[in-house]
Amino acid sequence: MRPISRRQALLLGGLGAAATAAGGAGLVWSLSSRPAPLIGSGLVQPEELHSESGLLQVRLEAAPGQLQLAGREVSALGYNGSIPGPTLRFRAGDTLKITLANSLSQPTNLHVHGLHVSPDNNGDNVFVTVTPGSSFDYEYRLPGNHPPGLYWYHPHHHGMVADQVFAGLFGAIIVEDPQGIETSAERVLVVSDTSVDQLGGIRAASAMDRMAGREGDLLLVNGQSNPEFSALPGQRERWRIVNACVARYLRLRLDGQYLQLLGQDSGRFEKPQDVDEVLLAPGNRADLLVTAAAGESVLRSFRYNRGTMAGMMGAGPAPGSAVEGTEGTVLATFRVAGEPAAPPPGIPRQQSPADLRQAPVAARRQIIRSAGMGMGGGGMMRFTINGREFDASRTDTTAAAGSVEEWTLINTSPMDHPFHLHVWPMQVIGDSGGSPEWRDVVNIHANGQVKVRVAFADFRGRSAYHCHILDHEDLGMMGVIEVL
């Protein structure tokens, strides 16, 4: 990483202004002149930091820089000079201390997405503002029964979340298994999308982009364009996949390989599920076992139709449907060749996930998300929850600590919206039986609804729920919950 010029820093600081800036000899290059995606570069793993004797202490510096992105240097934002930031690994019962240093020219803060930790004080408190040039010491204590799995971190300063994530601020978190699964390789695949402008910086989003939820021109894995990696036939690998895109849904396929899903978001299924395809809304994660079969397979993301605002006028295909007939976008190439490996041992049985279906319900609520034309005009839509835009000083929902609630998540708009609740994971309550499904981001189809149950266990305090199309969150589709 090279230090960047003040001018570039200014451009990055005002992402909104970058698109209108001109000139900049030596910096100018256009999308059409950029090199083709680098094929054949090996997959790079983000740096890994592990806890020791129950403690992981790290310093994360959020800073602009000339960072490696899609095989070249781009003026972007990163934690500790890389995109993604370091992977943080620790166990249930551990303490995580993060000093967040803000070297950006705008405020930021930190959120540990999916972790069941206190939202108070210097815990997972999204109401904290870390001003430019200052730092903040976060401390998170994981309960001893914290579910294992894949989580992630990203900024959460309201109004700037989408810009900062799109520019490169995100990283993975792994809560280790109490009992490991034998694999020949474990890979973290953080999928993100972004767009690079003519000055070699991150392209600013237009008002339309924000309303629709911006999707980048580049779809990257660990900041790389189509990295490749390999295995021997018969080897079993574990892939931990984060959807860190601001708004893009990933419909992932790896044809030719045997895939088993160990879990999604928080925790683990009792038994791995055989899958051909995994749909990850923004913010969702997949914990996947891949048993390698000889040949070359391409990890692709197929288009998912999440609806559009134009759907308001009744145009376009029905949202929620898979759009077929495209090749999909290449994410990575997996080559399997060589002497077959000995078959891997069986997968140890996982701890049964909790099940709230029989639990007494203390309160039932409706959380209604809508998007509609505002009173103020100007062509901006209002993105609301229960009719209101986010206000950090207002508490929208109060729940009692120790109680179980049932929420009906309703979407009255013509686009899908992924609903995310901080701190407390949600159990999706379907019509059918089946094993309990836990998520911290639940997609709600256009004009659809989903019932979830939440156990407000362990922690009190104020936190948030919001649409994980981060542009919508920034536009106000967020509410405040206080657990008392």
Return the H-helix or E-strand segment holding 57: strand 55-69
Cβ at position 293, least distance to Cu ion in Å = 36
- The residue among 198, 185, 193 whose CA lies nearest residue 236 is 185
Among 116, 156, 300, 472, contact with ligand C2O (rule: CB under 6 A): 156
Distances, alpha carbon 409 to alpha carbons 242, 331, 359, 367, 386, in Å: 23, 32, 19, 5, 10
Decide: is 116 part of the binding site for ligand C2O (CB under 6 A).
no
Structure-block tokens of residue 121 = 């004080």
Q: Within 13 Å, how many C-alpha atoms sit on residue 259's CB side?
A: 20
Smaller CB separation from ligand C2O, 331 or 464: 464
In whole angstroms, give the CA distance from residue 217 to residue 310.
Answer: 21
Q: Is 111 in the site for ligand C2O (CB under 6 A)?
A: yes
Nearer CB in complex with ligand C2O: 364/388: 388
The piece of 58-66, 95-103, 107-115, 258-266 that touches Cu ion (CB under 5 A) is 107-115
Q: Of 49, 63, 100, 469, which one interacts with Cu ion (CB under 5 A)?
A: 469
Task: Return all residues near 458 (Cβ < 8 A) that are at least 6 apart.
Answer: 116, 118, 143
- Measured from the CB atom, the residue of 106 and 443 that comes closer to Cu ion is 443
The verdict on 420 binding ligand C2O (CB under 6 A) reads yes
The count of residues interacting with ligand C2O (CB under 6 A) is 10
Strand 55-69 with 95-102, pairing: parallel
| Residue in 84, 466, 471, 483 binding ligand C2O, rule: CB under 6 A | 466
Residue located via tokens 């981060």:
470
Residue 285 or 472: which CB sits closer to Cu ion?
A: 472
If binding is defined by CB under 6 A, does position 422 make contact with ligand C2O? yes
Between CA 302 and CA 297 the distance in angstroms is 15
User: CA 68 to CA 39: how far, in whole Å?
Assistant: 15
Whether the Cβ atoms of residue 163 and residue 15 lie closer than 8 Å to each other: yes
Q: Which two tokens stand for residue 257?
A: 């390989």
User: Applying CB under 6 A, which part among 46-54, 265-273, 348-356, 460-468 lies near ligand C2O?
Assistant: 460-468
Tokens found for residue 241: 């996949």
Indicate which of ligand C2O, Cu ion, none lies near residue 466 (CB less than 5 to 8 Å, by partner kind).
ligand C2O
177: number of Cβ within 10 Å:
18
* Min separation Cβ 467 and Cu ion, Å: 3
* Residue appearing with tokens 């499904």: 437
Closer residue to ligand C2O (CB): 78 or 114: 114
* Number of CB atoms found within 10 A of residue 352's CB: 11
- Region near Cu ion per CB under 5 A, out of 76-84, 132-140, 447-455, 460-468: 460-468
246 near Cu ion, judged by CB under 5 A: no
Provide the minimum distance between the beta carbon of 471 and ligand C2O in the complex, in angstroms, as a whole number: 13
Secondary structure (H, E, C), 72-126: EEEEEEEECCECCCCEEEECCCCEEEEEEEECCCCCECCEEECCCCCCCCCCCCC
Comparison of 107 and 114: residue with beta carbon closer to Cu ion? 114
Q: Where are the alpha helices (DSSP H) in 57-199?
A: 161-166
156 binds, among ligand C2O, Cu ion, none (CB under 5 to 8 A by kind): ligand C2O
Q: If binding is defined by CB under 5 A, does position 472 make contact with Cu ion? A: yes
Residue from 15, 83, 467, 470 that binds Cu ion (CB under 5 A)? 467
Among 78, 86, 155, 283, interactor with ligand C2O by CB under 6 A = 283
Identify the bridge partners of residue 65 per DSSP, sorted by sequence position.
Answer: 76
Check if the beta carbon of residue 148 is closer than 8 Å to that of residue 178.
yes
Segment contacting Cu ion by CB under 5 A, of 100-108, 109-117, 256-264, 274-282: 109-117
Residues that bind ligand C2O (CB under 6 A): 111, 113, 154, 156, 283, 420, 422, 464, 466, 468
Residues at the site binding Cu ion, with contacts judged by CB under 5 A = 113, 417, 422, 467, 469, 472
